[in-house]
């Protein structure tokens, strides 16, 4: 059997013959409770039995999955929203995004809806960019991020009218390279935008956007 230990540092070298991948795994749950629940989120606490037989408590926020949309025009400018986010007391630059708030809702259908409502545009070309858990040590929420191109504006009379924070959003078009630059100097910190912009940048430099999986 080949020794795959790192020659100088702790751990093993990845096997080049096996694709890197997450894997499903579920440790036994001895008991479970739900100390907090609203129409938006709920918190459950599990007493988990580990591999060594010990038990410990882990809490998680149950939250609907979400979609994010990197909408890009012909000059590689991204549609961004300047939106106030009360929990962090900042107006963040973010891509259009939203929850899968209907049980069993198709992520692409949700993405089309959010781009229409928040960005006031429609897209003819949709690509599957990346999937990610937003914070797997804390919440069940999972993101799916799409690249949307071949954009057309929604007629002004048909545009969605937002409420609360959405009523105060500003739409900004920024070049992809500028967004990436500002991520690296620390001026952009929204997780969806960081992940989506860097994924777009990587896709461009690998095989191009057309090589991404069609949505």
Tens digit of pLDDT for each residue in 84-128?
Answer: 999 999 999 999 999 997 878 999 999 999 999 999 999 999 999
Q: Where is pLDDT greater, at 156 or 38?
A: 38
DSSP conformation letters of 34-72? EEEE-SS-EEEEEEEE-TTS-EEEEEEEE---EEEEEEB
Closest CA to 126 of 203, 66, 179, 70: 70
Mean pLDDT of the chain: 92
Quick check: helix, strand or coil at residue 5? Answer: strand
Residue 57 pLDDT grade (very low, low, confident, very high; cuts 50, 70, 90): very high
**Tokens 């999955």, residue?**
65
pLDDT of 161: 73
Flag whether pLDDT at 205 surpasses 60.
yes
Residue pair 214/125 in contact (Cβ under 8 Å)? The answer is no
Distances (CA, A) of 154 to 19, 40, 123, 150: 42, 29, 10, 13
Domain ranges for the chain: 29-62, 66-214
What is d(CA 93, CA 14) in angstroms, rounded to the nearest whole number?
A: 36
Active site residue 166: yes
Query: Which pLDDT value is given to residue 166?
Result: 64
Following DSSP, what letter does each residue of 65-102 receive, concatenated? -EEEEEEB-TTSEEEEEEEEEGGGTEEEEE-SEEE--S
pLDDT band at 165 (very low <50, low <70, confident <90, very high): low
Residue of 105, 118, 166, 170 marked catalytic: 166
Which tokens in the block code for residue 93? Answer: 């630059």
CATH topology for 66-214 is Nucleoside Triphosphate Pyrophosphohydrolase (3.90.79)
- pLDDT confidence tier of residue 167, bands split at 50, 70 and 90: low
């Amino acid at each position: 059997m080949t020794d795959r230990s790192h020659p100088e540092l702790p751990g093993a070298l990845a096997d080049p013959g096996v694709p890197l991948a997450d894997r499903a795994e579920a440790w036994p749950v001895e008991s479970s409770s739900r100390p907090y629940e609203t129409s938006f989120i709920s918190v459950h606490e599990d007493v988990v039995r580990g591999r060594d037989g010990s038990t410990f408590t882990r809490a998680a926020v149950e939250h609907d999955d979400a979609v994010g949309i990197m909408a890009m025009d012909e000059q590689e400018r991204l549609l961004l929203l300047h939106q106030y986010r009360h929990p962090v007391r900042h107006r963040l630059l973010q891509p259009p995004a939203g929850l899968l708030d209907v049980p069993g809702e198709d992520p692409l259908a949700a993405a089309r809806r959010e781009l229409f409502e928040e960005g006031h545009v429609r897209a003819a070309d949709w690509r599957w960019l990346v999937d990610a858990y937003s914070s797997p040590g804390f919440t069940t929420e999972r993101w799916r991020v799409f690249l949307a191109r071949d954009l057309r504006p929604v007629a002004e009379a048909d545009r969605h009218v937002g409420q609360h924070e959405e009523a105060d959003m500003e739409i900004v078009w920024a070049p992809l390279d500028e967004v990436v630059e500002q991520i690296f100097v620390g001026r952009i910190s929204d997780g969806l935008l960081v992940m989506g912009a860097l994924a777009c940048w990587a896709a461009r430099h690998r095989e191009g956007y057309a090589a991404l999986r069609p949505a």
